[in-house]
Structure 1
Amino acid sequence: MSSNVCDAKTEADSFAASERNSIAPEPAAPSWAAVFSLALGVFGLLTAEYLPASLLTPMAADLGVSEALAGQAVTVTAVAAMLSGLLTAITTRGIDRRTVLLGFTVLLIVSNLLVAVATNIVVLLLMRILLGVALGGFWSMAAAVAMRLVPAALVPRAVAVIFSGIAVATVVAIPLGSYLGELAGWRSTFLAASVLGALTLVFQLLALPRMAPHGTARLGTLGEVLRRPGFGVGIAGMLLVHVGHYALFTYIRPALEDVVRVSAGALTLLLFAFGVANFVGTLAAGWLLEVNLRLTLALTPVLMGVAALGLALLPAGRVGYVLLVVLWGLAFGGVSVAWSNWATRMVPDQAESAGGLVVVGVQSAIAGGAAAGGVLFGMGGVTTVFTVSGLVLLAAALLIVARVEAPRHGVPRRGGWSSSARPRRAERCG
């Protein structure tokens, strides 16, 4: 019996040692320039992803295709991003992470350049696939790389800075793309996006340190990560939050027109306010995550659910409705930051694979939320969409509070285990 216990103890110690060795060492000082270079990369990638939404009509006319077909430029990007997020950690496991990130930025530049000179829809769609590869891969690695650029206590703040690029792109990409398209044509807009990519590449060349690959990601790693205690139920909670949000967001315009009853000019201003609130929420989440991860994970869907139910059911008046929209944008700003931090804390030894699963979950939720919102909209209009989605968001918050684990900083910590996470010795051996 004693021999069995000792064998089990030796196996547990061996597993812990191998896991510690697969986690990259923590830097002694933060590299904020590198963090900001990643934020600029995220901004460039998301801006390029969003551009077709504001340039669809002139793109379709110039290429001689329907707007529905030109709209597949968005679809193929999302599908490629999903696959890339899932497979990047596996396919690049032996390559310096700096080289991988720079490669994704090169793909961004090439994609935008060749879209700008595309003579037919096939070339355009192929180049948008390249963008999706860069987008999914970059996003899946962002939080894991942040762990290697700043000390553990600053990781939430660093991830918030990196993901602020998403919020800024959400605010400026569509109106800026529309403006530049009217001013100089849609091709010139994509050329401008490639110039932004080139500037990003120079910044990253100067700022990003070399980062030797760590971990042993393979195809089976994804299943192993999902089977880790608490990870699967966390992903389920994340999916509920994103499905609830994107069911709402797909119908934000008819909601503002029918419920808030804003004019076309006021609609643009209110959408801008939503985007600014989203940006502020992203940065605020970095601070809140340093205080309490579980609170951040649960609070964001609660606030979005309250905002959705308020817009659907309360006679809040014009000012009240505007405040609810701003609250919604503020809360959603923290969602991507919170779940990316959660994934890296839950699985620090396979943070890139965990990040890939988060990317797949988000992309799936975008499609699922939009589809569910369409069904609900057909059943009962905006009120039904916002009521059901609000209840889904509140249910997600309950699941998070009841079942989702939220490790503290450093549990398990890189380079060693804290006392609360170290494998226990069943009894003294030998």
Structure 2
Amino acid sequence: MTATTTNTSFNNTAKQGAAEAPAAQWGGVFAMTLCVFALIASEFMPVSLLTPMATDLGVSEGLAGQGIAISGAFAVLTSLSIARIAGSMNRKLLLLGLTALMAVSGVVVALAPNYLTYMAGRALIGVVVGGFWSLSAATAMRLVPPQQLPRALAVFNGGNALATVIAAPLGSYLGSIIGWRGAFFCLLPVAAIAFVWQWVSLPSMPAQPRPASSGNALKLLKNPAVLMGMLAVSAFFMGQFALFTYLRPFLETVTHVDVSTLSLVLLTVGVAGFMGTSAIGTFLKWNFSRTMVGISILMAVIALALTFFGDDLAAVAILLGVWGLVATAAPVGWWSWLAKTLPADAEAGGGLMVAVVQLAIALGSTMGGLLFDTSGYRSTFFASASILLIAAFLAFLTTRFQRVTAA
């Protein structure tokens, strides 16, 4: 598939999806971006609060980290079935319902009297993650004209990056002042504002007729290029979250940072990620394959380096800053690949991508937790590096398969 053919196909599909929105409705785009911010903050808040949560709930840090895994598992189930379950439901009402469910999840987690209730709350946020992200690209096509679609998708990713900048260090800081439960409660006003803003700014979006393949997103895997790309995406996120989920206990037990320093290190990771998200477009235009392969290799090197320099605060801060720079930007590259590879199947492709990503996060955090509890942080970081190297190889193969398929 040549770049010209891909872009033409993408633009034609975008025109069809934007037929109901001849004028850009940026209020809706920004309202959804705020929802993305609250969603990402809710999903990964346990990363910065893992230690106090584990202590309060009476479980190990590895078990507390499974809150990331269960949200990922439920996101997988939801993303593969949301279009079929929602049927002819107006997409605006569906998005509002998911936003309300996000707030409910926050309350359940914040008030959880035991580990089981905590995991139930995390399962609810997984449902929201799977449903919201599956609909995001298709919704963007209905909010802006085709020529502004890339910008709208970049704004969505900006909400993701902003959450990465703020959520982890702020969660760690708030946790030290008002406790981890109070930190989760602080997300509720954000969810409420996102709900009202979407209610006011989103247009009515009746369900649209979908291609036959949308009935089962897994059918898309019959395309060899799609299958290889999804394998690469899976390996990347699995390797990333095998390490990232257990960053706080590593920093506290190996680097020996206090709460203030922990928040500063996490802020460094987030700020670097925001910068990376802003800059990756230039690299993707230069060479998609080299960019995505290079990111995975660089992250693998960082994972290994952390095992050697874990007790050196300056070195760890620099390494994690580079990690944040490339790790946060990588999803932008894979969503761009998806848009160009499946331009006519945005909803099904989005559901499949979310399922793959969340399943990979669940597997990565579970594996990382088991290794962390049984063999220590080094085994977790070595496993992360190994999987990221596999991701680099699969990313390289993805472009080769795409060329063969196009030919």
Q: TM-score, normalised by structure 1?
A: 0.74
Shift of 1:88: 1.1
CA distance, structure 2, for counterparts of residue 372 and residue 71 of structure 1: 10
Change (3 A) 1:323 1:194: closer
1:302-353 CA-partner distances (Å, limit 9, x unpaired): 3323433444568998655533321111000112222222223222222222
TM-score under structure 2 length normalisation: 0.77
- Contact kept in structure 2, 1:157 and 1:286, CA below 8 Å: no
Asked if 1:169 is matched to 2:163, the reply is yes
* Aligned pairs for 1:139-178 within 5 A: 139-152=133-146, 154-177=148-171
- Structure 1 partner of 2:348: 353
Q: C-alpha separation between the residues in 2 aligned to 1:234 and 1:386? A: 24
How far apart are 1:296 and its partner, in Å?
A: 4.0
SS at match of 1:404: helix
Say if 2:215 is the partner of 1:223. no
Say whether 1:298 aligns with 2:293.
Answer: yes
RMSD: 4.1
Bigger shift: residues 340-349 or 302-311 = 302-311
Q: Spell out the pairing of 1:127-276 with structure 2 (5 A cutoff).
A: 127-152=121-146, 154-177=148-171, 179-180=173-174, 183=177, 189-214=183-208, 215-216=210-211, 220-253=215-248, 261=255, 263-264=257-258, 265-276=260-271
Is residue 86 from structure 1 mapped to residue 80 from structure 2 by the alignment?
Answer: yes
Q: Which residue of structure 2 lines up, in the alignment, with residue 369 of structure 1?
A: 364
Q: CA deviation at 1:253?
A: 4.6
What secondary structure does 1:86 align onto? Answer: helix
Residues 141 and 288 of structure 1: CA distance in aligned 2, closer, same or farther (over 3 Å): farther
Question: In 1, are the aligned partners of 2:69 and 2:361 still within 8 Å (CA)?
Answer: no
**Structure 1 residues 375 and 383: alpha-carbon distance in aligned structure 2, compared to 1, 3 A threshold:** same
Write the distance in 1 (CA, Å) between the matches of 2:327 and 2:86: 31
Distance 2:18 2:37 in 1: 28
Contact residue 90 and residue 218 of structure 1 kept, 8 A: no
Structure 2 Cα separation of the partners of residues 236 and 72 of structure 1 = 23
The aligned residue for residue 37 of structure 2 is 43
Q: Is 1:95 matched up with 2:71?
A: no
The answer on whether the counterparts of 1:156 and 1:287 sit within 8 Å (CA) in structure 2 is no
Q: Quick check: 1:144–1:344 contact (8 Å CA) kept in 2? A: no
Hey, what's the Cα distance between the residues in 1 that align with 2:167 and 2:322?
A: 22
Query: 2:389 & 2:64 partners in 1: Cα distance?
Result: 37
Summarize deviations over 1:78-119 as a string: whole Å, max 9, x none: 332221122112222422322221221122233334555677
1:342 maps to which residue?
A: 337
- TM-fit CA distance, 1:290: 5.3
- Give the corresponding residue for 1:24: 17
Residue from 63, 66, 70 that aligns with 2:58: 66
Distance of aligned partners of 1:299 and 1:153 in 2 relative to their CA distance in 1, 3 Å threshold? farther
Alignment-mate amino acid for residue 339 of structure 1: W
Q: Which has the higher helix share?
A: 2
| SS, match of residue 326 in structure 2 | helix
Q: Matches of 1:385 and 1:72 in 2, distance apart?
A: 15
Cα distance in 1 for residues equivalent to 2:65 and 2:328: 26
1:349 is paired with a residue of what secondary structure? coil
In 2, Cα distance between equivalents of 1:29 and 1:335: 30
The CA distance in 2 between the partners of 1:306 and 1:208, in whole Å, is 44
- CA distance 1:389–1:60, shift in 2 (3 Å): closer
Question: Partners of 2:389 and 2:123 in 1: how far apart?
Answer: 36
Larger radius of gyration: 1
* Aligned mates of 2:397, 2:315 — CA distance in 1: 31
Give unmatched runs, 5+ long, in structure 2: 1-8
What fraction of aligned residue pairs are identical, expressed as a percent?
Answer: 37
Distance (Å, rounded) in 2 between the aligned partners of 1:310 and 1:58: 28
Task: Check whether the contact 2:241–2:361 (CA below 8 A) recurs between aligned residues.
Answer: yes
Which residue is equivalent to 2:318? 323
SS in 2 for 1:241: helix
Q: Is the contact made by 1:301 and 1:394 (CA closer than 8 Å) also made in structure 2?
A: yes
Structure 1 distance, partners of 2:99, 2:297, is 36
Query: Within the alignment, does 1:333 sit opposite 2:325 as a pair?
Result: no
SS at match of 2:186: helix
Shift of 1:231: 0.6
| 8 Å CA contact retained: 1:159, 1:286 | no
